[in-house]
Amino acid sequence: MKSHYQILVIGGGTAGIMTAAQMLRKNAKLDIAIIEPSETHYYQPAWTLVGAGDYEFDKTVRATADIMPKGVDWIKDRATGFDPENNLVSTLESGNITYDYLVVATGLVMEPGMIKGLPEALEQGVACSNYINPEHTWETLRNFKGGNALFTQPTTPIKCGGAPQKIAYLAADYFRKNGLKDKANVIFATPGTVIFGVKEIRETLMHVIDRYGIHFKPFYAPKEIDIENRIVHFSHTAPDENTCVINEDNDLGEKMYGDVDIHVPFDMLHLAPPQAAPKFVRESVLSNDAGWLDVDHHSMQHKKYPNIFGLGDVAGLPTAKTGAAVRKQVPVVVDNLVKLMADKTADNHSYNGYSSCPLVTGYGKMTLAEFDYKNNFIPDPKLKRMLVFNSAKEHWRLYMFKKYGLPYLYWNKMMKGKKV
């Protein structure tokens, strides 16, 4: 096996595959390797629908070998460390691999241990999560008979920040369709200050919350799962002027201890686990203070090492971690790599923080949040022409686009390095 490559990519997820595929479309003779240990590749955006029983899990799965770009060397191994001064990456079993240019696209990892009791709650099936096992979420939803259905998310950045609330809306719709509306208290608790940062989308989602009668709890940061008593302990994170007041004998059975400790009982619990960059990234010289890859926000070039780029979920970018963001990041990285290889300056700083979140608000209903670093609502003109309506409002066409259109584009365009 070779130990040196012109371009070395760490990660065979969306960002890594797309970058390699687009580079090879520029020049099929490039010497590229991808380090990726997993034999299986998942289309995770569909897991929201799997968790609601409206998509087959098997359709989200492909063999990594089937999507690996032709002309790439696939190193079935795990990267373990960096030595950027010597252009070197260490691996678990393949020794050291050197490079001319490095693309870090490792994605992120689940860190349930950051919330006390969460690993055990997931292992015992007391909690469910579309991020880990969407089929278990669907099983939990089907078996729910009434009580508190609690949906929450951590204080860490997470992939697809809207996913924890999407399943809450689908669950509320499921309960309504199956005669459980009056027996269920649907609760969405978030450490955030608002339901969504983009004004146009936020207005739509507040109407959705009102329609379902969802109990919306901002400033709620989960810190412990009491499995035995089925209680989630939250810290209340609001500034003093937003002091939380909980009345005794409330419908949810909430209790407050002191000024910030809130206990919420549950009969069903869905949550996004805390998430972080892989340990070998966050403990490396390539990471920023928060543990994410320290790259320029507009070029994705590393701030200290110019022959290193990082994109996708591992990158320290102040925007949502989504496949849609990757779709816009990859061409910028590819353009900059091509320029560097031609002894030119990597001067493409055109990435504006674009990300999008398809917010499913019920069966057959969706709104599409597209936004930039400043949370401006920036709907794609092509999509607008194709679907001919205001994508900030709920529409069945958007739901169909998510269920059928986006998976097709992912497997047949994005993963093959074609323009989308």
| Residue positions annotated with a catalytic role | 160, 357
Which of 342, 348, 271 has its CA nearest to residue 309? 348
Structure tokens at 373: 């670093």
- Give Dmax (Cα) for the chain: 70
d(CA 167, CA 47): 10
Q: What is the CA 168 to chain-centroid distance, rounded? A: 16
Burial (Cβ within 10 Å: 0-12, 13-18, ≥19) of residue 31: middle
d(CA 32, CA 39): 19
* 147 bridge partner residues: 184
For residue 180, give the amino acid letter.
L
From residue 133, how far is each of 52, 129, 313 by CA, in Å?
12, 6, 20
d(CA 42, CA 65): 12
Burial (Cβ within 10 Å: 0-12, 13-18, ≥19) of residue 23: buried
For 36, phi then psi, to 5°, come to -155, 115
